[in-house]
Structure formats: structure tokens, C-alpha cells
């Protein structure tokens, strides 16, 4: 019986670690910037997909906001022109894997292939700055963090995630209010706007920007966010 309890505790501990946004077993993980600077990074995952990418880029351009896009290699390969659009807008690109598979219990070669193929596509698009990595579904355990540490790649998660906190039918206003309420100095905000099911999250973007600007926050890319506290 005792053995079973210990095994159970080990598994729940590993499960907690695998989904933690603040801790991984190896290498550097960042979930926010300096708490002393009034800056915020908006991050958009899972694109670039047609229509949605163009819409969010227009919203960001209209309000002169720079953001960070964690792109999926497969999507990038399908729509390289959208990545070019993102870069033309002055935004930052990050790596969000090639196939968006959960990277738990995956072989080292699978992990390396997912990250390197996507990095290559990001470089081919003309992006020359440091490439950060965001694990699909935020999941990581042994092989992924070990690989990232060996390659000196920083994981970037988030500290505000309306998609997980709110119910699926939440309105754009509710989503924006949640983000405005939860955000603090140095926050990294996770937004999903690349799917039809997330149309309210997309519609919330201008409200989020307006609300946070009223609180005197400045919008920066992840790179600028991390540089601002140093
Ligand atoms: Zn994702």
C-alpha cells in the first residue's frame, strides 16, 4: 500500500512539473519580465493562419503595438507570406514546435527535429534575433528541457492566460476585463486568436490594448520585455 502511495505521489509530482508555467527541470524558463517595469508582452500562439493573422496584425498596427508570435513550423511552411507580414509589422517570432505535439515522453531526436526544422524556417523568413521556444500546450518533462538546456534555448511561458481561466463562451469584454485585471508589471499574456473557436479572444485584443494603456502599460516584444529589467 505504501509503495502505491509513493508511486502515486511521484506521478502527480511529475504531472505538476510537466504543466507548470513557472518551472522546468533543466534550462531557463521565463513566465514574466521584471515586476518593476510597466511593460507587457502580448503573445499569439499557433499561427500563422490565413485571415486570423491578417486581422490581428491590422489590430496591432492600428494601435501601434508590437507583439510576439510563437509560430508552428507546419503552418509557417504552409503560409510563409504570413510570417513575412508579421516581420513587416515589426513583431517578434518565436518557435512553438513543428507539429504542435505534446512533448512529453518523446525521443530526443523527435524533440530536436521539431525545434530545428521550425528554427530553420524562422531564419529563412529573415528573422535574425534570438529565437525563444514555447512548448506546445505548455507541456515539458525530461527530454525537451534537457535539449533546450544543451542548446542554450530559453523557454517562454506566460503569467496571464484567459483561455484556460475562462469558460469557452466568455465574451470579448469578459476576456479583456480578465486580462486587464490579472496583468501586472512584466506580464506575458498568452492569446489564441488563430481559430474560429477563439473569435472572442481575437475581438478582445483592441479592448485589452486600450484597457492596459489606460493603466499606463507599454507594449513590448518578449525580447524587449526581458531586456527591460536588466
Ligand atoms: Zn499552442
Each residue's pLDDT tens digit, 206-222: 999 999 999 999 999 99
Structural domains present in the chain: 29-228 (3.20.20.370)
Among residues 51, 40, 57, the alpha carbon closest in space to that of 209 is found at 40
pTM over 0.85: yes
Residue 67 predicted with pLDDT over 80? yes
Instruction: Give me the half-sphere count of Cα atoms (radius 13 Å) on the Cβ side of residue 67.
Output: 29
Grid cell at residue 56: 490581428
Helix (H, G, I), strand (E, B) or coil at 118: helix
In this model, does residue 94 exceed pLDDT 80?
yes
Contact 78, 115 (CB under 8 A): no
User: What is the 46 CA–ligand 1 centroid distance (Å)?
Assistant: 5
Q: Answer yes or no: are the C-beta atoms of 95 and 132 closer than 8 Å.
A: yes
Cell 485585471 -> residue: 181
pLDDT score of 6? 82
Place of cell 509589422: 89
Contact assessment for residue 76 and residue 49, using Cβ atoms and an 8 Å cutoff? no
- Label residue 113 by pLDDT band (50, 70, 90): very high
For residue 20, pLDDT beyond 90: no
User: What per-residue confidence (pLDDT) applies to 22?
Assistant: 78
Give the Å distance between the CA of 194 and the centre of ligand 1.
10
Residue list, CB under 5 A from ion ligand 1: 45-46
Residue 8, pLDDT > 90, answer no
Amino acid at each position: 500500500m505504501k509503495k502505491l502511495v509513493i508511486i502515486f505521489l511521484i506521478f502527480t509530482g511529475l504531472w505538476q512539473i510537466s504543466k507548470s508555467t513557472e518551472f522546468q527541470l533543466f534550462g531557463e524558463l521565463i513566465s514574466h519580465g521584471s515586476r518593476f517595469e510597466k511593460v507587457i508582452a502580448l503573445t499569439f500562439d499557433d499561427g500563422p493562419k490565413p485571415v486570423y493573422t491578417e486581422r490581428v496584425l491590422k489590430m496591432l498596427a492600428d494601435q501601434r503595438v508590437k507583439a510576439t508570435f510563437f509560430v508552428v513550423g507546419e503552418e509557417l511552411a504552409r503560409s510563409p507570406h504570413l510570417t513575412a507580414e508579421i516581420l513587416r509589422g515589426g513583431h517578434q517570432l518565436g518557435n512553438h514546435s513543428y507539429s504542435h505535439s505534446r512533448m512529453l515522453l518523446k525521443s530526443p531526436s523527435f524533440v530536436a527535429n521539431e525545434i530545428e526544422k521550425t528554427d530553420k524556417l524562422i531564419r529563412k523568413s529573415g528573422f535574425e534575433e534570438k529565437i525563444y521556444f514555447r512548448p506546445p500546450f505548455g507541456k515539458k518533462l525530461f527530454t525537451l528541457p534537457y535539449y533546450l538546456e544543451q542548446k542554450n534555448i530559453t523557454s517562454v511561458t506566460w503569467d496571464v492566460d484567459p483561455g484556460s481561466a475562462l469558460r469557452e463562451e466568455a465574451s470579448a469584454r469578459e476576456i479583456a476585463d480578465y486580462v486587464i485585471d490579472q496583468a501586472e508589471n512584466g506580464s506575458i499574456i498568452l492569446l489564441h486568436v488563430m481559430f474560429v473557436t477563439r473569435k472572442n479572444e481575437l475581438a478582445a485584443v483592441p479592448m485589452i490594448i486600450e484597457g492596459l494603456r489606460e493603466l499606463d502599460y507599454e507594449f513590448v516584444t518578449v525580447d524587449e520585455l526581458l531586456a527591460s529589467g536588466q
